[in-house]
């Protein structure tokens, strides 16, 4: 890339002759860009090590972490696992994650991540983050609200269980949430980042909200020494900005964009966002912040930068962006502006969850040739990866009358969350195609009839125990498709009534021992760190729930410790 990043408002890096004589507006030892899990962890570790820390966020704070389901992937024998009598070890966790991470980090780094995982949980608890040990034992995309420890991965599937003993590692944050929030499963990640923010403020960190990093400053030797920001100062303009933004967010919560006619109902919300953008453009003030020990980039991925996504990962452009508007690639572009290298930019996680209702996952998902594409009980990102990478993003869920009836029963029991129930209802009422025979159904959905009938015939033999399932699906999870009418639900990336959330996994290359950003030759860019989705990390392979937050905290603490003490983090440093 050029020194002026594309698809971005980030400015080319500014080289200054003498940092000591530059007219800085403020200074800190470590300046952290972004206050989600990665940025908050970097700031907290650095502050704990004695550095003066300034934490920046373009919006109110928390980023995609706060907007998430609040799941931390942790294992190796955490206190929460032990309370729930879940047997796990760092070696067992490593054996499982080796199958998912696919070499995105070295074995040494992955082992370090697994060994420190239980310490991470304790470190978070010491700072006020609450976890609970109520265990959900079955396979699900997200458990009911009274369960806080669950299998947020593929570990229960036979092919994975043969290589690593299954262990529940999805630790849901439990504190400071209302029952209504938990039922909606939206904005639950605040249970993890809000206590960190409180701890940071209580221990003397400077937290600048509504402040966007636009430019890196470096000295003649190429060392990053500061950052230019655009700050929306406290006062009437900021109050107006917040008001417009919150009204728009409430409208989007009331009228999800997937609903028919939503674009007309959301015009009022769009106008509010436009007004907020106008206030930003006219009222923000440039300020220069010196960073004596470095700058840590932790500003999230780039899924909301649709041009950037279309360039790097065109297969996923039809997916639904998961995160916040702050996930615009600006942190990555800041790194690129000083010569950093980026990798795995085409790697995106697509979440095609079809369980609950479990009856859906007992059916089959087929491509245009009528062939199955994966084990339907797989974690949603595994299924989404198969759709996007091997099947042009297209897929149909096939059910028969008995499975359809069972699905209705399962979502009517009160044992699923509201969003899971509502999406299932919407698709079984308005998003499905029905036909008396499989051949007629195939013609309706544009699938090869012979391929579909052969696939169902083969699957039914697995369901009856006559043969092993070709994708390793347990026979108890296979349901014979024999009773019409048959139903097909669009589960492709572009499905209008069943959005497929996507998030980017690539980022800047870093030294895995320190978190220092590197260039194309692997040389360190002094004074610059990256963490979370601004960097290639543990979750840059194939995603499982909670791994991005866990990787963000791991990589954030690594950067904070190195900035303070110049040493590699072993995972339990105090």
pLDDT at 230 over 90: yes
pLDDT confidence band for 250 (50 / 70 / 90):
confident
pTM: 0.94
Bigger pLDDT: 315 vs 265: 315
pLDDT at 573: 43
What b/e string do you get for 270-303 counting C-beta neighbours within 10 Å, with b at 16 or more? eebbebbeebbeebbeebbbbbbbbbbbbbbbbb
Residues of the chain above pLDDT 90, percent = 88
pLDDT at 1: 40
pLDDT at 180: 74
Q: What average pLDDT does range 327-331 have in this prediction?
A: 97
pLDDT at 113: 98
pLDDT at 182: 78
pLDDT at 133: 97
Q: What average pLDDT does range 56-66 have in this prediction?
A: 96
Q: Is the peptide bond before 298 cis (omega within 30 degrees of 0)?
A: no
pLDDT at 567 over 60: no
Residue 245: closest CA among 197, 280, 282: 280
**Tokens encoding 323:** 């995160």
pLDDT at 171 over 90: yes
Q: What average pLDDT does range 320-328 have in this prediction?
A: 94
pLDDT confidence band for 574 (50 / 70 / 90):
very low
Dihedral sign of CA atoms 423, 428, 431, 437 in order:
positive
**pLDDT tens per residue across span 458-486:** 999 999 999 999 999 999 999 999 999 99
Domains and CATH numbers, the chain: 14-67+193-232+284-349+503-532+554-565 (3.50.50.60), 71-183 (no CATH), 352-490 (3.90.700.10)
**pLDDT tens per residue across span 401-440:** 999 999 999 998 777 888 899 999 999 999 999 999 999 9
pLDDT at 569: 44
pLDDT at 570 over 70: no
| Sequential DSSP letters for 96-158 | HHHHHHTTSS-HHHHHHHHHHHHHHHHHHHHTT--B--PEE-S--SS--TT--EE--SSTTSH
Q: What average pLDDT does range 352-377 have in this prediction?
A: 97
What b/e string do you get for 458-491 counting C-beta neighbours within 10 Å, with b at 16 or more? bbeebbeeeeebebebbeebbbbbeeeebbbbbb
Query: What is the rounded average pLDDT for all residues in the chain?
Result: 94
> Which residues lie across from 433 on neighbouring strands?
488
**pLDDT tens per residue across span 139-164:** 999 998 899 999 999 999 999 999 99
């Amino acid at each position: 890339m050029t020194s002026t990043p594309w698809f971005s408002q980030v400015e080319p890096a500014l080289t200054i002759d003498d940092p000591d004589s530059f007219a800085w507006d403020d200074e800190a030892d470590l300046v952290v860009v972004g206050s989600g899990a990665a940025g908050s962890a970097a700031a907290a570790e650095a502050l704990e090590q004695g550095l003066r820390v300034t934490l920046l966020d373009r919006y109110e704070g928390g980023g995609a972490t706060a907007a998430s389901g609040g799941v931390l992937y942790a294992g190796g024998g955490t206190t929460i696992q032990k309370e729930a009598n879940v047997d796990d070890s760092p070696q067992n966790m490593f054996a499982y994650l080796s199958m998912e991470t696919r070499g995105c980090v070295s074995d040494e780094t992955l082992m370090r991540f697994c060994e420190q995982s239980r310490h991470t949980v304790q470190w978070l608890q010491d700072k006020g983050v609450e976890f609970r040990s109520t265990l959900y034992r079955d396979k699900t995309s997200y458990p009911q609200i009274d369960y806080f420890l669950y299998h947020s991965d593929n570990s229960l599937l036979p092919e994975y269980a043969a290589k690593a003993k299954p262990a529940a590692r999805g630790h849901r944050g439990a504190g400071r949430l209302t029952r209504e929030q938990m039922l909606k499963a939206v904005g639950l990640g605040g249970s993890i980042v809000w206590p960190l923010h409180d701890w940071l403020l209580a221990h003397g960190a400077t937290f600048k909200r509504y402040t966007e990093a636009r430019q890196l400053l470096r000295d003649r030797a190429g060392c990053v020494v500061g950052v230019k920001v655009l700050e929306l100062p406290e006062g009437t303009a900021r109050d107006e900005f917040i008001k417009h933004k919150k009204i728009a967010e409430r409208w989007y919560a009331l009228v999800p964009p997937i609903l028919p006619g939503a674009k007309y109902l959301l015009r009022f919300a769009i106008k509010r966002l436009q007004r907020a953008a106008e206030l930003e453009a006219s009222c923000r003030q440039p300020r220069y912040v010196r960073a004596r020990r470095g700058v840590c980039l932790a500003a999230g991925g780039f899924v909301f930068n649709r041009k950037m996504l279309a360039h790097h990962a065109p297969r996923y452009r039809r997916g639904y962006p998961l995160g916040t508007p702050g996930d615009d690639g600006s942190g990555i572009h800041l790194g690129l502006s000083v010569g950093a290298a980026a990798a795995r930019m085409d790697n995106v996680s697509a979440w095609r969850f079809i369980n609950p209702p479990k009856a859906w996952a007992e059916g089959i998902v087929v491509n245009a040739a009528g062939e199955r594409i994966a084990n339907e009980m797989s974690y949603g990102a595994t299924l989404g990866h198969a759709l996007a990478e091997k099947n042009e993003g297209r897929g149909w869920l096939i059910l028969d009358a008995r499975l359809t009836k069972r699905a209705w029963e399962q979502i009517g029991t009160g044992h699923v969350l509201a969003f899971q129930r509502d999406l299932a209802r919407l698709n079984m009422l308005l998003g499905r195609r029905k036909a008396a025979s499989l051949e007629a159904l195939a013609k309706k959905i544009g699938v090869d009839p012979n391929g579909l009938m052969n696939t169902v015939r083969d699957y039914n033999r697995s369901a009856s125990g006559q043969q092993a399932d070709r994708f390793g699906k347990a026979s108890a999870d296979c349901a014979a498709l024999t009773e019409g009418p048959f139903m097909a639900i669009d589960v492709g990336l572009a499905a209008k009534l069943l959005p497929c959330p996507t998030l980017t996994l690539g980022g800047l290359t870093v030294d895995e021992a320190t978190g220092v950003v590197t260039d194309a030759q692997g040389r360190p860019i002094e004074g610059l760190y990256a963490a979370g989705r601004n960097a290639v990390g543990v979750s840059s392979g194939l995603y499982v729930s909670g791994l991005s937050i866990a990787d963000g905290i791991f990589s954030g603490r690594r950067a904070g410790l190195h900035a303070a003490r110049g040493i590699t983090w072993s995972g339990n440093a105090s």
